[in-house]
Structures are given as structure tokens and as C-alpha cells.
Structure 1
Amino acid sequence: MSKSAPSSNRQRPAASGKPAARRSQAAGYYRGTAESLDPEVSIGSVVKQLQASLTRMMDQRMAPMGLTATQWRPLALIRYHQVNTPAELSRRADIDTGAMTRALDRLEAKKFITRQRSADDRRSVRIELTEAGNAVAEQILPAIAAVLNTHLRGFTKDEVELFISMALRMLSNGEQVQP
């Protein structure tokens, strides 16, 4: 069995030598067949594998700092995006509130953060980095850059920008679908 998508669905140049209209052909690219959804050519499977590879390498880079994937994201959001509530951290890190609470508990135990109740609203909690938290957070962005650059080795700047624009377009397409 071939590991590529069915040839009838591939992009072909038009007679003029210019690419054929991509949107009309791409709309029916996957046919619901074993061949078209093979894990090596299915965009969903490839994206999942890429995410797993990025996470594995990030975990390796963060381990010397005493951080896991679930722990470094909140630190980066607090430090670089001024996100300071558990609910907003949960939304921005795309993890459930229970997992975020556990991550914050661990970060607090490591003395990387403090949690303070709001004087105005006792239900509201504000998260702040400690001196140790700021020190470790300073190491996060260089680690992220190293991991991304490893995965993007051999890509041109234009290819990276195209990849990002295509992924963003896919996300936009997915958000437009109404249940």
C-alpha cells in the first residue's frame, strides 16, 4: 500500500503552468478511506505527532529547571503575558481548571509562585512570580526557541511563514463550523 495520498486528489499545475485553484481541490482531499487517512499522510495524525515531538523535547529542556510541560506554560504566561488568575491561565494554556490548580500547587511548592486573595473579592486569586520563579521563567523562552528551531531546521523563513499562515487558516476554518 502506498504511503501517499491518492493521486487523484493531489495538486496539479494548470495547463498554463500556474497552480490549479487550491481551495476547490483541498475541500475533498480526505475521502474517509484507509489510504487517504493513513497516519503518515493524515494532517490530523501528523499534527498530533508534531505536538508530541515538541512536548517531548520541551520536557527534556525543562527538566533541568524542575519543570514539566504543564508547569512551564503558566510561568511563561505570568511572566511574559501578565496573566495572573487561575481561570485565565487555564484558558490560555488550554488545560482544564483542575489540572491548572494542580500545576499551580506544584509551582507554589517549588516556591516559583505565590497566590494572593484579592482584597476586593475574596473569591478572586492573583498569581505572582517569586524571585525564583522569575529566574526560571527567564530560561523558558530560549528553551522554546531552541526546540522550535530544531524542528524547523532546513526550513526557509518564507516556508515557516507559509506554514504558520496555513495552520492559522485551518484553525479559522475549524472555528467557522457551527455545530
Structure 2
Amino acid sequence: MQSPDIPDTPPIGQPCGHYGGSPMELGADRNIGLLIKHVHILLHRVIDLKAIPLGLTANQWRPLLLIEHKGVDTPAEMARAMGVDTGAVTRTLDRLESKGFLRRERVPEDRRVVKIVLTDSGREVAARILPAIAETLNIHLQGFSEAEIAMLFALLKRMIVNGEQHLLQQTAEHAPEP
């Protein structure tokens, strides 16, 4: 299957053999993984700087967005969504609660379950994070044409599809037989 967004490309799922494993091929300026990671780090550093005037530290703006826009409403869901342990989430929620951005409420039907709810000031601050993220993305895309941005989306999506297909295939191959 060819990628519909990228002309003259080999079928999705076939290894391309671009890298051979030598240090020259996998140097920081030629390693796609390292370059993507570097962009990821830079994006977050700029967003973090924009979050400071909102009264948020680097680790505090993301939980607010997850609550407001993704419907994450328990500490356990938050830990899964952020890929961190529940202790780290508890400390972050404690700080956000002390700043008045959220509150934790016990569910009357099951007192063991705690729901996370944004306060009015938490919703106000969360509403200001997305524009900061948009501004950050625009900073990093300066000088790109619309066609280049569309190509970048297509290429990154294709990498995701390739990786997900490989993971599914490997998981199926290594699954224990019933």
C-alpha cells in the first residue's frame, strides 16, 4: 500500500534499509529519532516558558489540558495518560490544588474513587495554554510553506503507522499460545 500523501513511495510496512547501524549513519545530525526527540524537547521548553506567567511549572500545564480537553478525571487515568507513576501524579495534583486550579472529590457511590475537577481559575488557565501551544508550534514552523507543513504531517503520520504496524506484528508473533 502506498502512502496517499507522499508520491512515489514504497509500500507501507516494508523496511527501507536507510540505516545500517554505523556511528556515522546514526549521528545526532542524521538520526531521525534523535532529531524528533530534540524538537520535542524544544517544543516543551518553549511551552514551559510560556506557562510561567500562568503560574504553572513545566509539569503542571499538561494535567490541566488532560482534564479539560481529554476528560481525564481520576489520578490513575492521569498517571496512565502522562506515563508516570501515581506518586508523581499525586504530588502534581497537590501543587495544582494548592494553587486553586483543581479540587479532588470523592465519589459518593464509591468513596475509594477520587475525581479531579477543575475550578473556575483552573478552567481559565487551561484556556490560555492552548494558545501558548499554538504560538510555540508556529515559532517552530517559521519559514515552512503550507506544502512543507502538509508533507511534514504526512511523513510523521507515516512513521507512526509503520511503527504501530511493526509493534502489532511483533506482539502477535511473540504472544503466548492459548
TM-score in same-fold range (> 0.5): yes
CA distance in 2, matches of 1:162, 1:122: 50
Residue 89 of structure 1 aligns with which residue? 78
Residue 143 of structure 1 aligns with which residue? 132
CA RMSD of aligned residues (A): 2.2
- Mapping of 1:110-121 within 5 angstroms? 110-121=99-110
Quick check: 42-51 or 95-104, which moved more? 95-104
CA distance in 2, matches of 1:58, 1:136: 14
Quick check: 19-28 or 93-102, which moved more? 19-28
Cα 1:131–1:24, aligned 2, differ >3 Å: closer, same or farther?
closer
TM-score norm. by structure 1 comes to: 0.81
**Structure 2 unpaired stretches of 5+:** 1-6, 172-178
2:39 counterpart SS class:
helix
CA distance in 2, matches of 1:102, 1:58: 21
1:73 aligns with 2:73: no
The structure showing larger relative contact order (alpha-carbon pairs under 8 Å, at least 6 residues apart) is 2
1:127 counterpart SS class:
strand
What per-residue deviation string (whole Å, max 9, x for no partner) do you get for residues 67-105 of structure 1? 123210110121222221112222223333222222111
The offset of 1:158, in angstroms, is 3.0
Identical residues among aligned pairs (%): 46
CA distance in 2, matches of 1:115, 1:20: 51
Runs of 4 or more, structure 1, over 4 Å off, are 22-26
CA distance in 2, matches of 1:110, 1:135: 13
CA distance in 2, matches of 1:81, 1:25: 34
What per-residue deviation string (whole Å, max 9, x for no partner) do you get for residues 29-81 of structure 1? 11110110010110111011111101110111001112123210110121222
